[in-house]
A and B are shown apart, each in its own frame.
Chain A
Amino acid sequence: MSYQLENTQRGEKYNTIFSKVSPAQRRNRTARAHWRSRLLLGFYLVLMILPIYWLINMSLQTNSEILGSMTLWPQNLTFDNYIGIFTNSSWYMGYVNSMLYVAMNMLITICVALPAAYAFSRYSFIGDKHLFFWLLTNLMAPPAVFLLPYFQLYYSVGLFDTHIAVALAHCLFNIPLAIWILEGFMSSVPKEIDETAYIDGYSFPRFFVKIFIPMIRSGIGVTLFFLFMFSWVELLLARTLTATDAQPIGMIMTRTSTASGIDWGTLAAAGVLTIIPGILVVYFVRNHIAKGFALGRT
């Protein structure tokens, strides 16, 4: 560290001798560049937030105000749209259904993905590379391809219109994703830890649960975040595999358009409510998320 510092100072000196730009000017310049980049970022964030702001804005207005005149913020603040959703079981059950199958999917996926990812990161076995590649191909499968076969498959085994059907269907892309991310995190844990634990007399299950899983806590957290994300946002499969009992909120939202026009206020309020779980989940993993996006391989 001190060596680097010394080097920097030497660099400063070198610069002052040979450069026409004084250090003060240069610092000024970097400060200006800093503010310019902050401004640009702020500009992007404002543009990004604008459509979401508009949704929130509309969810706090009555339909007559929405359709009546252009208002940049709600003139008569009303929470009727939200109250309407929370007091109607056919509406709020959509959220319960979505949460249920997402939670089931996260649980199933993490339970089977943890041992599999460990196998891929620690052992070589017959066909391991092919198996891994085949897993990744499932990430590339368009859900539309699987619509019809899924419908028939789940119908024939009597799982149609249940939460578990959607949870299992989402395993198609979530299990490969989880193994991919977890494998990265596990490979960054030194193998010596495993070996020491086995020498100390730990059995594999005990070592795995007591030592290994706590070590990759942040990796598991980030993986769960991604599982939540992809299961929560998917609608095509969820819609096809459900009818009434397990219908996701995204499908119930289509109910707002009726013969007498679209109920914009309720649609907007329902949309805002689908964003909130995402914000909560991302808040919990905010410190590990950067590593997670590189699939644990930084």
Chain B
Amino acid sequence: MNNKIPNNRAWLLVLPMLVLVAFSAIIPLMTVVNYSVQDVLGPNATFFTGTEWFKSTLNDPALQAAFLRQISFSLIILAIQIPLGIGIALIMPKRGWQASAVLILITLPLLIPWNVVGSIWQIFTRGDIGLMGWGLRELGVNYNLTRNAGDAWVTIILMDVWHWTPLVAMLCYSGLRSIPEAYYQAARIDRASKWAVFRYIQLPKLTNVLVIAVLLRFMHSFMIYAEPFVLTGGGPGSSTTFLSQSLTTMAIGQQDLGPSAAFSLIYFLVILLVSWVFYTTIMNMQKDKPPHGGA
């Protein structure tokens, strides 16, 4: 398996990339770390505060609420998008012009700038000019996302499902395409049911892409900013204010350097930790399984 040539001169090939990423990742991150342990009162008046900002951030009830909202949001959209994405991938045509057409249509929402996604749904759901808002009102549903927190949540989840399910579907579709036709033929000979084909042939082959899908969807949903910001502005009240928006308000709006830096680090570490735990758990589970042979 591992037949890479040991060669430390390969560092030379990596170096240009390293310089660029260091410039855009390490320097800014160090700035954040620096701010997180200091109280900046003026250009020449900074005080070392130690872990004080971290403590105050962790104990801030508004941020705790935003954190809980964020977790629930990520879990809900994962629970909807992953099964839905698999389902769509299963019924997508495999070849011919239809396959190309469906591919292009399905990827469409992924290529729309995030704030435009917010605008599209803002227009679509307005009671006076939007098809969905108007339609619901005509049907007698009391729908108002600027006043009712429940409606705002449903709309944001609907928007995110609309926006990102294509990514899951595309990942699964590419996983399904890598299954050799012979597997299906063998299943037909055994007269395997559709469910058995899915459970024992398709799903195992999808494991790898599903890991990527869950990771990407978790990460992106945890960083969501532009779409809810445009659609609801975090309201009504603060019922749809997610972590990125709280952080932006703190850092840019209120210029609270210390607390927002501490908040940033905690935020980043949570994403890293969850992704790492998820990834290592899956990998360990796969290692425990007896090898089935084949690819």
Q: Could you tell me which A residues sit within 8 Å of B by CB distance?
A: 4, 7-8, 10-11, 14-15, 19, 33, 37-38, 40-41, 44-45, 48-52, 54-55, 58, 66-67, 70, 72, 108, 111-113, 115-116, 118-120, 122-126, 128, 131, 135, 137-150, 152-153, 168-169, 171-172, 175-176, 179, 191, 229, 232-236, 240, 249-250, 253, 264, 267-268, 271, 274-275, 277-279, 281-283, 286-287, 289-295, 297-298
Contacts and interface: CB of A to CB of B under 8 A. Distances in A.
B3 to A, nearest CB: 7
B141 interface: no
A175 B20 contact: yes
Given A125-B7, A126-B8, A145-B264, A54 B115 contact: no
B100 A286 contact: yes
Given A108-B20, A149-B31, A149-B32, A140 B185 contact: no
A140 B272 contact: yes
Contacts, number: 288
**What are the nearest 10 A-B pairs in CB distance?**
A278-B111, A149-B28, A123-B10, A298-B178, A37-B91, A119-B13, A11-B189, A294-B174, A149-B31, A119-B10
Contacts of B116: 250, 253, 271, 274-275
A115 B32 contact: no
Nearest to A21: B191
Contact of B131 (A54, A111, A175): A54
B219 interface: yes
Nearest to B194: A33
Contacts of B37: none
Interface in B96-116: 100, 102-116
B239 interface: no
Nearest to B117: A233
A267 B119 contact: yes
Given A168-B24, A290-B103, A8 B124 contact: no
A236 B134 CA distance: 31
Contact of B247 (A7, A145, A240): A145
B177 A298 contact: yes
Contacts of A278: 108, 110-112
Contact of A176 (B7, B21, B103): B21
A155 to B, nearest CB: 12
A45 B95 CA distance: 18
A133 to B, nearest CB: 9
B120 A52 contact: yes
A298 B20 contact: no
A4 B4 contact: no
Contacts of B106: 45, 48
B72 to A, nearest CB: 18
Contact of A67 (B109, B129, B257): B129
A26 to B, nearest CB: 10
Contacts of A66: 129
A50 B131 contact: yes
Given A54-B131, A123-B7, A236 B225 contact: yes
A147 B185 contact: no
